[in-house]
Amino acid sequence: MHVYHVASSTVNPLTFQDLFQHFSGSPVMDAAGQPIRVRTMQFCDNMEQYASDTAETNATMLTRRAKAVVAQVMNLGRLYEPYTFYGGRFDIANTKALLAEMSEEERARFFSDAGSMDWEDYFIHVHVPGVRKHVMRARGSSK
């Protein structure tokens, strides 16, 4: 059985540093229109550690709003768990070989060059707006 991945992990990986730079340079605004400062990233090895660290943060917060924000962070953590704690890389060798066998017209029609993915553009124009619209609003965020 042949598996054909369209993935960027071996040719154009998205790193946590890329995410940090995006949110540092394009901060999310709070309800008052003030930028939410992004602290230096702390990495967790698994979802249990993430949940524990988030629970500790929640225990130190006093306001209902702050606790709601932490609950939202936990929801996002669960949403992204398969991507952040999965150590595998998707090999695109079969896909590259298939594309090499196609005519120029077929390659143009079935374009799948994940190496050309512009992560910054994707986050600014697709991913973050989608999360804000479909995930954060669904959890009661005003933004």
Under the banding of pLDDT at 50, 70 and 90, the label for residue 105 is: very high
Query: What confidence tier does 102 reach under pLDDT thresholds 50, 70, 90?
Result: very high
Whether the pLDDT of residue 114 is over 60: the answer is yes
**C-beta of residue 25 within 8 angstroms of C-beta of residue 119:** no
Closest CA to 70 of 79, 81, 59, 80: 59
Does position 133 have pLDDT exceeding 50, yes or no?
Answer: yes
Gyration radius from the chain CA atoms? 19
What was the pLDDT predicted at 26? 66
Please check the confidence at residue 15 and state whether its pLDDT lies above 90.
no
Q: Which of 13, 23, 136 is nearest to 86 (CA)?
A: 13
Residue 140 has a pLDDT of 47
Average pLDDT over residues 9-37: 73
For residues 115-137, give the mean pLDDT.
Answer: 82
> Please, what's the b/e burial string for 27-59 (b: 16 or more CB within 10 A of its CB; e: otherwise)?
eeeeeeeeeeebeeeeeeeebeebeeebeeeee
